[in-house]
Structure 1
Amino acid sequence: MTTIGVVGAGVAAAAATYVLDQTLEDSEVTILEKSGGLCGRAATRRRGPVTYDYGANYLKDDDRRVTELVTETLAAEGLVDTRGPIYAYEADGEIGPGRDSDDHKWSYEAGLTQIAKRLLGQTDATVHRNTRVERIHREGEQWRLTDADGASWGPFDALVVNPPAPQTAELLRTADWDDPLREDLVEAIEAVPYHSVWTTILHYPFELDRPYYAVINTDKEHEIGWVAREECKPGHVPDGESVLVVQAGQGWSERHFERDPETNVAELIDLTADLLGDDRLREPDWTDHQGWRYALPDDAVRQGPIDSAVDHDLHFVGDWIPGEGRIHAALRNGLDTAEKLVYQL
């Protein structure tokens, strides 16, 4: 039997696990996920009848293989297309038509976490939630993991690592692995630039009348980087209500990431009301928030050390490999990486 350990249960790891389960006979996949949920930053919460994607906002129709995966391979039931185009604004806050509105912007009635849940639901993989990996060990030709409670996992014939680049680099920096490649990997992975995003969710007991699904800041000079209307996703928000997903811009997020959340929410409420020109938005009837410290990679990883790690049965997946902070890019990377792993084994 071939044993494979997976660190993290984001979309790339879920896609890789799906391929491994479907194509590698007599294999056993064990996933250790630090949080209580699945799908990483493609995250969904529910409050009463309201469902909202509070990290990544939608799955873009921008990769033929990923499109086939979600529309044909996986059950398409509950897959919904977000209604409306994306408008744009710059530092002056003047909103106008922006991006092409013809592309699909998919979610699910139950939210984007369905991607990982559906992929993993078709496998025999074992997922251990609330299990934070603290250390990686190389033992001969195999791998072992130690979690935050001191429990040992493995041995594994191959290891797949999914956390954001800064967290992956730290795992490798402290790894019990005496090989010159480890330092090369740390250097390459920690060089991947990331930026943080601080997000607030605003609910209103009325529906906004706007011609767009979302607005985006294109010159990165505004305090707010993105505002999306969750009611444009069928099944997410009851009729007559509105839910805004407000993502602060990079500069604002980094300056205020550690600030008191209530202060951040209050400031973003006023900034949103000013941007959308509606004073009613200053009084949401409930809010939520989330800080994403490692939200989006700004460049791809240097590929040489990543390719060399394959010879040690060590594989890395995530949107930071191609350097594109999009769900479809992470899914494609997971699919491709798993196929290389299968070929190698």
Structure 2
Amino acid sequence: MSLPTSVAIIGAGMAGISAARQLKEAGVAVELFDKSRGTGGRMSSKRTDHGEFDIGTQYFTARHGAFRAEVERWHASGWVDTWQPNLYRIDEQGMQPSTDEQHRYVGSPRMTALSRALLEDLPLHNSVRITALDKHEQGWLLTDADGNHYGPFDRVVVATPAPQAVPLLSAAPQLAKAAEQIGMEPGWAVSVSFATPLNTPVEAAFVRTGPLDWICANHSKPGRSAACTWVLQSTPQWAAAHLETPPAKVADLLLEALGETLHTALPATTLVHAHRWLYARPAEDSEWGALAAPDLGLYVCGDWCLAGRLEGAWLSGRHAAHAVLGQH
């Protein structure tokens, strides 16, 4: 199979970024398209006058050898740093220090610092929602929600959450059918800045009771401001039951749960913001790596093709790039 000269990548989260970087290093011209104004997909961060908040991915670990080597390169470049918080587990039996001793990494000074660094020399179309892919004799043509066209491209890599990928895969029913099998779980994330520090030794905790799934003193991460900032993430089940609850009400409910979880009165807040993730993470792991229709030049990747971690997204993008290049 000849090397493609141009590849369109739909989605600029870690899977899309990983595929783009692998292809660029192989000498292939790539263009990324993302419906959001920012970068990084679920590596999203929110900057405010009261500090920075990682509202999506909270941290990541590195287990696979190739990913560990890549993370070390990022670390040496100053794009990520290690984060070893005072970590707890909170369940119905109470609060105890977590025995989870994995090395954790975060983007520095915020999670989006990593995606911005990786995208710096890549052509990216922000705020462009691709709604249709059409295969012509000259190659693939992309159409966005405003009726604009892009292309032609030799190959297309779809690197979006599975439900968003399905409508783009009509030319490859077998890929669409596979993506339709994937369940994605929702989540609510509440960013909150407090006027004074909380009365707790907890800097981060896995919560296994009530509506909360994860709580984190965001200011404990390296490179963040000194303001007392926290991020609260709900369980998927609670989010599914509150998909249409107004954000302000969601914030009130999860703040109330935070006080109950930590058994402490909460100080006054200076900022509260709730963000809903419709596709926060895949419900189950998979072993696909990536999906491919080589005869069409259409490929699909994402954490849902492997595991719902940043590492899974990076590895899936790598799989997709190798498939585009005819490597195994």
TM (norm. structure 1) is 0.87
1:41 is paired with a residue whose SS is helix
Query: Where does residue 223 of structure 1 map in the other structure?
Result: 211
Query: Where does residue 85 of structure 2 map in the other structure?
Result: 84
Structure 2: distance between partners of 1:109 and 1:305: 29
Structure 2: distance between partners of 1:9 and 1:304: 18
1:68 is paired with a residue whose SS is helix
After TM superposition, give the deviation of residue 272 of structure 1 in Å.
0.8
Letter in 2 for 1:67: R
Post-superposition Cα deviations, 1:302-336, rounded to whole Å, max 9, x if no partner, equal: 749924x13321111210110x2111111122123
1:279 is paired with a residue whose SS is coil
Task: Confirm or deny that 1:144 pairs with 2:134.
Answer: no
Post-superposition Cα deviations, 1:52-89, rounded to whole Å, max 9, x if no partner, equal: 21101012132322222132267532522223243212
After TM superposition, give the deviation of residue 34 of structure 1 in Å.
0.5
Query: Where does residue 116 of structure 1 map in the other structure?
Result: 115
Q: 1:311 to 1:209 in 2, by over 3 A?
A: farther
2:284 is paired with a residue whose SS is coil
Task: Confirm or deny that 1:284 pairs with 2:269.
Answer: yes
Structure 1: distance between partners of 2:17 and 2:285: 21
Task: Confirm or deny that 1:164 pairs with 2:154.
Answer: no
Structure 1: distance between partners of 2:228 and 2:219: 6
Letter in 2 for 1:98: S
Task: Confirm or deny that 1:11 pairs with 2:14.
Answer: yes
Query: Where does residue 198 of structure 1 map in the other structure?
Result: 188
Preserved CA contact (<8 Å) 1:136 1:143: yes
Q: 1:146 to 1:202 in 2, by over 3 A?
A: same
% identical equivalent positions: 26
Count matched residues: 325
Letter in 2 for 1:136: L
Post-superposition Cα deviations, 1:237-290, rounded to whole Å, max 9, x if no partner, equal: 31xx32111011122111111111111111111111111111125x32211111
Q: 1:300 to 1:314 in 2, by over 3 A?
A: farther
Q: How does 1:268-279 map to 2 (within 5 A)?
A: 268-279=254-265
Structure 1: distance between partners of 2:134 and 2:207: 44
Preserved CA contact (<8 Å) 1:191 1:301: no
Preserved CA contact (<8 Å) 1:227 1:247: yes
Query: Where does residue 332 of structure 1 map in the other structure?
Result: 315
After TM superposition, give the deviation of residue 139 of structure 1 in Å.
1.5
| Equivalent residue for 1:314, pick from 257, 280, 298 | 298
Structure 2: distance between partners of 1:67 and 1:302: 20
After TM superposition, give the deviation of residue 344 of structure 1 in Å.
5.6
Letter in 1 for 2:71: V
Structure 2: distance between partners of 1:69 and 1:61: 9
Query: Where does residue 325 of structure 2 map in the other structure?
Result: 342
Query: Where does residue 260 of structure 1 map in the other structure?
Result: 246
Structure 2: distance between partners of 1:229 and 1:93: 22
Preserved CA contact (<8 Å) 2:207 2:215: no
Preserved CA contact (<8 Å) 2:110 2:223: no
Task: Confirm or deny that 1:298 pairs with 2:289.
Answer: no
Structure 1: distance between partners of 2:5 and 2:250: 48
Structure 2: distance between partners of 1:266 and 1:28: 47
The alignment's C-alpha RMSD in Å is 2.3
**Structure 1, unaligned runs of 5 or more:** none
Q: 1:189 to 1:296 in 2, by over 3 A?
A: same
Q: 1:138 to 1:344 in 2, by over 3 A?
A: farther
After TM superposition, give the deviation of residue 203 of structure 1 in Å.
0.9
Structure 1: distance between partners of 2:33 and 2:180: 22
1:343 is paired with a residue whose SS is coil
Structure 2: distance between partners of 1:335 and 1:185: 18
Preserved CA contact (<8 Å) 1:88 1:96: yes
1:134 is paired with a residue whose SS is strand
Query: Where does residue 173 of structure 2 map in the other structure?
Result: 183
Structure 1: distance between partners of 2:287 and 2:75: 32
Q: 1:207 to 1:339 in 2, by over 3 A?
A: same
Preserved CA contact (<8 Å) 2:188 2:234: yes
